[in-house]
A and B are shown apart, each in its own frame.
Chain A
Amino acid sequence: MLRDITIGQYYPTGSVIHKLDPRVKLAGTFLFIISIFTFKNYPGYIVSLIYLGMVIFISKVPLKHILKGIKPIIFLMVFTAVIHLFFTSGDDILFEFYAVKITYAGLKKAVFIIVRLLFLITGSAIMTYTTTPNQLTEGIEKAFGPLNKAHIPVHEFALMMSIALRFIPILMEEADKIIKAQSSRGADFEEGNIIKRISGIVSILIPLLVSAMERAKDLALAMDARCYHGGEGRTKMKPLRYTAKDYISYGIILVYMVTSVAAGRFI
């Protein structure tokens, strides 16, 4: 059921990529996504594919697992591609049947869209597969730390994010349990008429909402009881520090940016 949505869930393998500083992975993912949008032609994607393949290989996350994670979004990708395929105008017509016209430009665009979305999703998924939500927020907090000077509450935002991320699996588990409990009472989510289906969904949402509120209240109390007072003057037990492998990775990212953008724009 809900547990089958594996995209974005940490997948521990203990690889080098898992051990990298989260800031490196954030920067890498960010730059990777930007690079994809600069390409005008195929060679750029080929360079991207090679790098992506290498990262996946080094991360030791099985390809099967990654593909399974992509499955739920295939529909979205195909849908977007089809729209581009049929509604792109151009002179180079490949196929025409009454009002349906497929142009070379449309085909190219459709393929690009699929590849782009695929790379985008896989690229960011690799980051979440190899970085725990806590590391991720720590990385973000540190990377955006300088904004504190501009009176932007970076710590609070990071905390909010880490709490939200922490709650996702808890709520999924809870939802799973509630779905099962209501199914035992004959609740309908797939079959039956619309009214029954809606009442089935309500029977899940309300208990879920109630329990989320309860948890939030408990958490707030627990934080208060331990005198939490925000980020000011707070120190870390294990502050983030770059090591050699992080600098090497930055180097690789730089090389990737130069080669891929050059290949994508100028070949």
Chain B
Amino acid sequence: MAIVIKDLNYIYGAGTVFEKQGLKDINLTIEDGEFIGIIGRTGSGKSTLIQHLNGLNVPASGTILYNGEDIYKKGYSKKKLRSKVGLVFQYPEYQLFETTVLSDVRFGPKNIGMSAEEADRSAKEALSMVGIHEDMYNASPFELSGGEKRRAAIAGVLAMKPEVLVLDEPTAGLDPKGKNEILELIDKLHKNDGVTIVLVSHSMEDVAKYAERIAVINDGEIFACGTPREIFSRYKELEKIGLSAPQTVYLLNELKSIGYDVDTGIITPDEAVKEILMHTAQTAYTEGI
């Protein structure tokens, strides 16, 4: 029971003409060690929601429990929370500021009270994890390519060794290769190191492939929550709120509608290939071809 979000309401610009309900009665539990995907169209409130997880946004009502403790309680250390719940912002490359890549990655660990050596070790570990080579440690972060900047910025959060890693569209604007590298890195952190992952994305394929559970947000409210299979079986509803399902879901549904008895709950391409091959083999066998 890592993070429990309870009846959370958030209002932008409270008390002005610009007042806008950002989030409405959000209830969601993020279990220890799980990989949860958060999807929703642009402006649905995904970023607003995850900025509550480490106490950056303060809700109008409702609260969040982290390991059973209310994070908005007086005296609860936000700094400690932020060392446990790492948040990677959308386009994190804009937060780089130090003179060298290494010192930028060390910024977080040093802030949360790691000793100089510890911070150094942790920073180097994080950089090698995201695939930034030692040659680049002393380069200015502003000299890196777009993809490298992104990875350096992610390393800046990883170096704090969070228990929960929250990522806001970490692959937005990257090429397919850079995108896969980052997703594989996140998956590895989850599988090998047991880090709880909260991945905000608007790529249905990505969440379908990696997430164990998906929460769908629409207009600041939780629209649905469940396994990828459950969520994407409701693809018609998803379309109504500006989302879609992975291509495989459409393919299998199409096959079913023209008479092939395939499992339409399958969502990843690999499984779909297997299902189709098996089905063809079966048909071939039964029809004696």
Contact = CB atoms under 8 A, between A and B. Distances in A.
Interface of A: 3, 6, 11-13, 64-65, 68, 174, 177-178, 180-188, 196, 199, 202-203, 206-207, 210-211
A12 B18 CA distance: 9
B96 to A, nearest CB: 7
B54 interface: yes
A-B pairs, 9 with minimum CB distance: A186-B111, A185-B108, A206-B97, A181-B95, A184-B87, A186-B112, A181-B89, A180-B56, A203-B97
A177 B95 CA distance: 9
Interface stretch (B24-32, B78-86, B130-138, B268-276): B78-86
B108 A207 contact: no
Interface in B89-117: 89, 92, 94-97, 107-108, 111-112
Contacts of B108: 185-186
Contacts of A180: 51, 56, 89
B15 A184 contact: no
B111 A210 contact: no
B83 to A, nearest CB: 6
Interface of B: 13, 15-17, 51, 54, 56, 78-79, 82-83, 86-87, 89, 92, 94-97, 107-108, 111-112, 142, 156-157, 160
Nearest to B13: A3
A187 B111 contact: yes
A195 B235 CA distance: 53
B156 A185 contact: yes
A182 B95 contact: yes
B111 to A, nearest CB: 3
Nearest to A200: B111
Contacts of B82: 183-186
A196 to B, nearest CB: 7
Given A206-B97, A207-B95, A207-B96, A185 B157 contact: yes
Nearest to A182: B95
Contact of B97 (A64, A65, A202): A202
A177 B79 contact: no
A187 B109 CA distance: 10
A203 B16 contact: no
A12 B142 CA distance: 40
Nearest to A205: B97
Contact of A178 (B79, B87, B94, B157): B94
A203 B107 contact: yes
B16 A65 contact: yes
A184 B157 contact: yes
Contacts, number: 68
B111 A196 contact: yes
Contacts of B86: 184
Most chain A beta-carbon contacts within 10 A, residue among B51, B78, B111: B111
Contact of B92 (A64, A181, A210, A211): A181
A188 B87 contact: no
Nearest to A61: B17
Contacts of B111: 185-188, 196
A266 to B, nearest CB: 42
Nearest to B156: A185
Contacts of B157: 184-185
Given A185-B160, A188-B111, A203-B97, 17 more contacts: A64-B15, A65-B17, A68-B15, A181-B89, A182-B95, A183-B78, A184-B87, A185-B95, A185-B111, A186-B82, A186-B111, A187-B107, A188-B79, A207-B94, A207-B97, A210-B97, A211-B94
A6 B13 CA distance: 10
20 contacts: A3-B13, A12-B17, A64-B15, A65-B17, A68-B15, A184-B87, A185-B107, A185-B108, A185-B156, A185-B160, A186-B108, A187-B111, A188-B79, A188-B111, A196-B111, A199-B107, A203-B95, A207-B94, A210-B142, A211-B94
Contact of B54 (A65, A178, A184): A184
Contacts of B79: 186, 188
Contact of B17 (A11, A186, A206, A211): A11
Contacts of B83: 186
A186 B55 CA distance: 12
Contacts of A3: 13
B149 to A, nearest CB: 11
Most chain B beta-carbon contacts within 10 A, residue among A11, A186, A210: A186
A206 B89 CA distance: 17
Contact of B16 (A6, A177, A181): A6
A6 B107 CA distance: 32
A131 to B, nearest CB: 16
A177 B92 CA distance: 10
Contacts of A64: 15
Contacts of A206: 97
Contacts of A183: 56, 78, 82
Contacts of A6: 16
A143 B66 CA distance: 59
B146 to A, nearest CB: 13
Most chain B beta-carbon contacts within 10 A, residue among A12, A188, A203: A203
